[in-house]
Structure 1
Amino acid sequence: MSSNFKQKIRNNQVLLGSVVTIPSSTTAEIMSLVGFDWLWIDMEHGPLSLEKIQEIMQGVGNRCTCLVRVPCNDRVWITRILDRGCDGIIVPQVNSAEEAKQVVNACKYSPEGNRSVTISRAQNYGINLQDYYEHANENMIIVLQIEHIEAVRNIESIINVPGFDAILIGPFDLSGSMGKTGLINDPEVQEAIATVKEACFKKGIPIGIYVDDAQGAISAKKNGFTFLGVGIDFMYFWKSAKRTLEEITSKEN
């Protein structure tokens, strides 16, 4: 599945995903059943253990692609998460070309990188060991998050690093790094986002962004973003519950 999804990224097909933070394989399974192309399993902010992300991926099965956002750009964390058998990773706060190289090196086996070699769920516990080693580098999906003004300043050098598949803008952290926390529609924040987008367009790098809802996704698509993280699992839950209660109480009045 990951190789097919990777080709879709490269072809700039619109791919809709959602953030998974609730530590429940059932919730993630439901998200995969409604038709999302990919799930953004979040270990940076979500209360998810390694065991729980493995259970989530087992619950999702082959219905959609599972990308895990690692807690930080750390080789040990990246290794442990890749060993769980995810289709790829999202790495937050990549602010320089050197940091981008660290990500690629940690994700790829020699000679393209220095990923640690072991036997784990990623290789079906050793059942298809050699086949995995032979194809892991080409199949692994590597997404770099640009979410700090320093990364915006360094975007040209970051996207010149070979080996990653897409850039994903985190608008909220980006706004915070500019002293405008949460003000993602502020002209200066939007200018920073546009700088990243234009640099990626020029080099032919697939680019995505996080948005809260359908309207944000529609607007992002119109602006050329193709790799979209739309909403968070718990947001869908409370929004639906709130809407239902409002419909009931409005009719009582």
Structure 2
Amino acid sequence: MLQNNLLQKVSQDQMCTAIGVKVVTSNEIILLARAAGYDSVFIDLEHSVMSIEDASRLCSTSLLSGITPFVRVPYECGSGFVQRVLDGGAMGIVFPHISTPEEARRAVSMTKYPPNGQRSLTAALPQFDFRRIAAKEMIPQVNAVGSTVFVQVETKMCLENIDAIAAVEGVEVLLLGANDLSLELSILGEWEHPRFRDALKLVAAAARKSGKVFGIAGLYSRPDICRHAVRDLGARYVLGHLDIGLLAIAMNKNVEQLRSLDTKP
């Protein structure tokens, strides 16, 4: 059986943690994530120069490490691109800039096998260790737990259509993208602004109403808001930070420590 840490955590009313990967393409980043205790990895093909081959390698390592790999694809990348990412080992796809129920339905169609969607069938997937499994056994598993559909909430139109988008069958996660959404709302980075706080509540309520997972991303420097989203609004998927951000934080701290060595008492 396929293992999806997000769905397993949600079934137990627990939070699923994630680390974003956009610059480090070697397997070591996944092993470090496992050692740190992350539940999932968010591989970013939207805002990076990583290739599908890079993503597939990271996905395969994640699967072997017990960390669930999700991949964010570029906006309007097309069903062929999505299929290659899924065939390469992704356990779910993050679709950015979804604004309408029709776009959400297309996202589901690209990601799920019939009768849930129109994904093309192939054999020997990395999700099953490249073993040949009968389609009648594979398809239900992949549709249920191996092809999670994330709709990224980051446009004003998405907020306006959020209840209808959340109600789309096959959409499993409403992931609020804080940075792009605040930019769209003309309040970039103003996390205390009433419009942003209202957006958090709106997306959380839509997820709760339709039985979908509420997730948050982009609030890496505001653990207080993340805590509010998890404890008060029911968020169950949290993107903790990106690899490049964590490297920058650690390097800055290390330089501070080094410079302190030469500081006279």
Look up the equivalent residue of 2:86 and give its one-letter code.
L
| Counterpart Cα distance in 2 of 1:44 and 1:129 | 33
Q: Select between 85-94 and 206-215 the one with higher mean Cα deviation.
A: 206-215
Look up the equivalent residue of 1:151 and give its one-letter code.
C
Verify the 8 A CA contact 2:44 2:72 in the aligned structure 1.
yes
SS in 1 for 2:168: coil
Aligned partner of 1:137 in structure 2 is: 143
Verify the 8 A CA contact 2:98 2:153 in the aligned structure 1.
yes
Aligned partner of 2:183 in structure 1 is: 176
Aligned partner of 2:58 in structure 1 is: 56
Would the alpha carbon gap of residues 39 and 187 (structure 1) be closer, same or farther in structure 2, given more than 3 Å must change?
same
| Counterpart Cα distance in 1 of 2:47 and 2:151 | 16
Is 2:30 aligned against 1:28? yes
Verify the 8 A CA contact 1:26 1:59 in the aligned structure 2.
no
SS in 2 for 1:212: coil
The alignment's TM-score, normalised by the length of structure 1, stands at 0.90
Cα-to-partner distance string for 1:6-26 (whole Å, 9 max, x where unaligned): 232344321111111122222
Is 2:133 aligned against 1:128? yes
SS in 2 for 1:2: coil
Report deviation, 1:64: 0.9
SS in 1 for 2:65: coil
Would the alpha carbon gap of residues 183 and 120 (structure 1) be closer, same or farther in structure 2, given more than 3 Å must change?
farther
| Counterpart Cα distance in 1 of 2:103 and 2:148 | 17
Query: Percent identity at matched positions?
Result: 25
Q: Select between 150-159 and 109-118 the one with higher mean Cα deviation.
A: 109-118
Runs of 4+ in 1 over 6 A off after TM superposition: none
Q: Select between 70-79 and 140-149 the one with higher mean Cα deviation.
A: 70-79
| Counterpart Cα distance in 1 of 2:151 and 2:124 | 25
Aligned partner of 1:98 in structure 2 is: 102
Report deviation, 1:83: 0.8
| Counterpart Cα distance in 2 of 1:135 and 1:203 | 22
| Counterpart Cα distance in 2 of 1:125 and 1:205 | 31
Report deviation, 1:145: 0.8
| Counterpart Cα distance in 1 of 2:238 and 2:46 | 18
| Counterpart Cα distance in 2 of 1:180 and 1:8 | 33
Given candidates 148, 156, 162, the residue that maps to 1:155 is 162
Unaligned runs of 5+ in 2: none
Is 2:220 aligned against 1:212? yes
Report deviation, 1:33: 2.2
Aligned partner of 2:113 in structure 1 is: 109
Report deviation, 1:35: 0.5
| Counterpart Cα distance in 1 of 2:4 and 2:246 | 29
Cα-to-partner distance string for 1:37-62 (whole Å, 9 max, x where unaligned): 11101111122101101111233323
| Counterpart Cα distance in 2 of 1:137 and 1:203 | 19
Aligned partner of 2:14 in structure 1 is: 13
Aligned partner of 2:87 in structure 1 is: 83
The alignment's TM-score, normalised by the length of structure 2, stands at 0.87
| Counterpart Cα distance in 2 of 1:163 and 1:10 | 17
Report deviation, 1:200: 1.9
